């Protein structure tokens, strides 16, 4: 534990992060510790019971609620969404009819990933937001490929409400949080005022995708349950296993998508994880079933993302034998490939400027520039790409260093789009 403390304190200083909480479970041992400040003005120490917005780490809770309904025979994964929400629609009618519950939980809906939500905190917020999705444009047909979509989990949360007759948050509290003893977790910041809490609120309509506020202790208990053979709780062991073993590949690398969980395959071990990021917080929860190892890191700064990645890489090496190696990249790309890939790639938005990426040639290689307000300062000079294999590249500089950037093709080889940051940007035109 002394070595972990030194590592965490060094990373806090290196990344300028005020504080964090860390939870580690290995076999029958558990470690919980907190470091630094939860708030700086007024000052308050970070504690293991500090409540933190865990953002997208909320998604497996929504998926669990849906799978419990599948076990009960009330929902079918491959049924169209309109089976449960007859009036559901996005801008593309064919997609509205074709999208299934499984597509929602596997980030395969094909429409845009984020849809602006109102600040309504009432019980009808989720229903109203799903109705407002009628203008959501399509990027790809449902089921084409993985493209990270908060909006799909919002629809899944609404299905939970309609099928159960309960508001989403109450259903998750009653069927998941309470049975698993996660009594410090809530979807409502106003319920955490008495605890050391951080600011961090999403519109209520976004709760199924990213609204949970939780603690390191609660999140570690949650991850232990996923690895266990305990049949108590909202879903069976068999269903839990299905959610992170029945997978579809995400591109040419070692990553796969389960039902809400992300999986990276390593020799002899599978890393199952979910990250969460909001403005002012960045966290991760992960487990390796084969090693009976789990870890959670909750931070209170945007800089917490490189911190938790550096820390969990160290922990995974020590406790699960998983080693991370930078892949060999080819900085130079042949002229024919450059000519084929340069151009514009876009995600359309509702009522605002499209999110656009340009791919340009530079010094016998490729560079990406973001031409929108989305993550405007990822790197002011663009993201340099190095080729790993085929159409799979990785970012070589900036805060996204190491992130995969994969050019996608149709079955006949035509260029379809670019997936970066987990999201697909559709090809619009070539500059070649």
Cα angle 65-108-349, degrees, rounded to a multiple of 5: 105
pLDDT per residue as tens digits for the range 213-267 = 999 999 999 999 999 999 999 999 999 999 999 999 998 888 999 999 999 999 9
CATH 3.40.710.10 domain residues, the chain? 1-325
The rounded distance, in Å, linking the Cα atoms of 116 and 36 is 34
> Closest Cα partner for 298 from 42, 44, 38, 4?
38
Nearest 5°: phi and psi at 45? -70, 145
Sign of the torsion formed by the C-alpha atoms of 378, 383, 387 and 390: positive
The set of residues, in sequence order, having a beta carbon less than 8 Å from that of 124 and lying 6+ positions away, is none
The structure's pTM equals 0.94
Sign of the torsion formed by the C-alpha atoms of 410, 412, 414 and 418: positive
Sign of the torsion formed by the C-alpha atoms of 286, 322, 408 and 373: positive
- Domain 335-430 fold is Lipocalin (2.40.128)
Q: What is the pLDDT of residue 432?
A: 46
DSSP state of 254: S
- On whether the CB atoms of residues 298 and 52 are closer than 8 A, the answer is yes
Tell me the sheet residues that pair with 418.
Answer: 407, 425
DSSP letter string over 97-164? HH-BHHHHHTT---B-S--------STTHHHHHHHHGGGPPBSS-TTSS----HHHHHHHHHHHHHHH
- In the numeric block, the tokens 């996923």 are attached to 226
The rounded distance, in Å, linking the Cα atoms of 98 and 62 is 21
> Closest Cα partner for 85 from 174, 149, 152, 173?
152
The rounded distance, in Å, linking the Cα atoms of 363 and 342 is 13
CATH 2.40.128.50 domain residues, the chain? 335-430
Q: What is the pLDDT of residue 136?
A: 95
- On whether the CB atoms of residues 276 and 50 are closer than 8 A, the answer is no
Residue 322 corresponds to which tokens in the numbers above?
Answer: 């998983």
- Domain 1-325 fold is Beta-lactamase (3.40.710)
Tell me the sheet residues that pair with 26.
Answer: 29, 293
pLDDT per residue as tens digits for the range 270-326 = 999 999 999 889 999 999 999 999 999 999 998 899 999 999 999 999 999 999 888
Q: How many CB atoms lie within 10 A of CB 174?
A: 13
Q: Walk along the chain (432 residues) in steps of 10 and give the mean pLDDT of each run.
A: 85 94 96 92 90 96 98 98 98 98 98 81 92 95 96 98 98 98 91 49 91 97 97 97 95 91 95 94 96 97 92 96 90 90 92 86 90 56 91 89 92 94 88 52
Q: What is the pLDDT of residue 349?
A: 85
């Amino acid at each position: 534990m002394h070595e972990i403390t030194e590592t965490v304190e060094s990373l806090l200083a290196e990344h300028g992060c005020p504080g964090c909480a860390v939870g580690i479970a290995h076999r029958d041992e558990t470690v919980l510790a907190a470091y630094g400040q939860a708030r700086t003005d007024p000052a308050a120490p970070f504690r293991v019971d500090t409540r933190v917005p865990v953002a997208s780490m909320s998604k497996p809770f929504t998926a669990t609620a849906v799978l419990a309904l599948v076990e009960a025979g009330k929902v079918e994964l491959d049924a169209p969404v309109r089976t449960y929400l007859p009036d559901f629609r996005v801008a593309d009618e064919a997609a509205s009819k074709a999208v299934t519950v499984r597509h929602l939980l596997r980030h395969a809906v094909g429409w845009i990933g984020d849809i602006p939500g109102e600040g309504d905190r009432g019980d009808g917020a989720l229903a109203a937001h799903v109705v407002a999705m009628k203008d959501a444009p399509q990027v790809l047909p449902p089921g084409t490929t993985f493209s990270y979509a908060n909006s799909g989990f919002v629809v899944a949360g609404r299905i939970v409400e309609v099928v159960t007759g309960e508001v989403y948050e109450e259903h998750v509290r009653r069927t998941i949080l309470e049975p698993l003893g996660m009594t410090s977790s809530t979807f409502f910041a106003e319920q955490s005022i008495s605890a050391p809490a951080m600011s961090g609120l999403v519109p209520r309509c976004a709760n199924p995708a990213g609204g949970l506020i939780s603690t390191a202790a609660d999140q570690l208990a949650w991850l232990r349950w996923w690895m266990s053979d305990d049949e108590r709780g909202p879903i069976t062991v068999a269903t839990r296993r299905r959610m992170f073993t029945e997978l579809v590949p995400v591109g040419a690398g070692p990553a796969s998508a389960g039902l809400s969980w992300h999986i990276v395959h390593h020799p002899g071990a599978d890393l199952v994880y979910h990250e969460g990021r909001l403005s002012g917080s960045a966290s991760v929860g992960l487990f390796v079933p084969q090693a009976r190892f789990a870890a959670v890191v909750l931070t209170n700064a945007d800089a917490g993302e490189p911190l938790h990645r550096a820390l969990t890489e160290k922990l995974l090496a020590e406790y699960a034998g998983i080693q991370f190696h930078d892949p060999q990249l080819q900085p130079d790309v042949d002229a024919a490939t450059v000519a084929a890939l340069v151009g514009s790639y876009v995600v359309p938005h509702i009522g605002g400027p499209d999110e656009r990426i340009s791919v340009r040639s530079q010094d016998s290689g490729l560079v990406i520039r973001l031409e929108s307000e989305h993550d405007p300062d990822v790197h002011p000079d663009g993201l340099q790409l190095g080729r790993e294999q085929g159409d799979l590249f990785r970012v070589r500089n900036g805060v996204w260093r190491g992130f995969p950037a994969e050019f996608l093709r149709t079955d006949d080889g035509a260029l379809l789009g670019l997936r970066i940051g987990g999201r697909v940007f559709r090809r619009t035109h070539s500059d070649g």
